[in-house]
Homo-oligomer: A and B are copies of this chain.
Amino acid sequence: MTADIDKENEKEDKQPGLKELTKAVQKRLTVLQHRIKEAKIPVIIVFEGWGASGKGAIIGSLISELDPRGFKVYTTGGPSADELRFPLIRRFWIKIPEYGRLSIFDRSWYRDVSMSAVEDGISIAEIDRRFDDILNIERQLSDDGYVLLKFFLRISKKEQRKRFEKLESNPATSWRVTRDDWRHHRMYPQYKRAFETMIQRTDRDYAPWIRINAENRKKVCYNVFTCVESALEDALRREKAAYSPVIRTDDSIKPLPIKRLADYNPAVRFENDEYKPALKKAQKRLFELHNVLYRRRIPLIIVYEGWDAAGKGGNIKRLTDGLDPRGYEVIPVAAPSPPELYRHYLWRFWNSLPKSGHIAIYDRSWYGRVMVERIEKFCSEEQWKRAFDEINHFELSLSEWGAVIIKFWLHIDRDEQLVRFNERMNNEEKRWKITDEDWRNREKWDLYEEAVDDMLIHTHTENAPWVVIESNDKKHARVKVLNTVIKRIEHVLKDRGIKSALL
Contact = CB atoms under 8 A, between A and B. Distances in A.
Given A68-B330, A106-B326, A338-B338, A288 B321 contact: no
A432 B34 contact: yes
A338 B342 CA distance: 13
A121 interface: no
A429 interface: yes
A172 B291 contact: yes
A317 interface: yes
A339 interface: yes
Give the interface SS of chain A, mostly helix, strand, loop or mixed.
Answer: mixed
B60 A325 contact: yes
A31 B431 CA distance: 12
Nearest to A361: B68
A47 to B, nearest CB: 11
A interface residue count range (under 10 / 10 to 19 / 20 to 34 / 35 or more): 35 or more
B325 A56 contact: yes
18 contacts: A56-B325, A56-B326, A60-B320, A64-B317, A68-B331, A68-B332, A73-B325, A73-B326, A80-B80, A81-B81, A82-B82, A106-B325, A106-B326, A171-B501, A172-B287, A172-B291, A337-B339, A338-B338
Given A73-B326, A323-B60, A326-B56, A171 B338 contact: no
Interface in A280-319: 287-288, 291, 295, 316-317
Interface in A101-121: 106
A328 B69 CA distance: 14
A68 B363 contact: yes
Contact of A337 (B75, B82, B325, B338): B338
Nearest to A363: B68
Given A73-B329, A175-B295, 6 more contacts: A59-B326, A60-B323, A64-B317, A80-B82, A171-B501, A339-B339
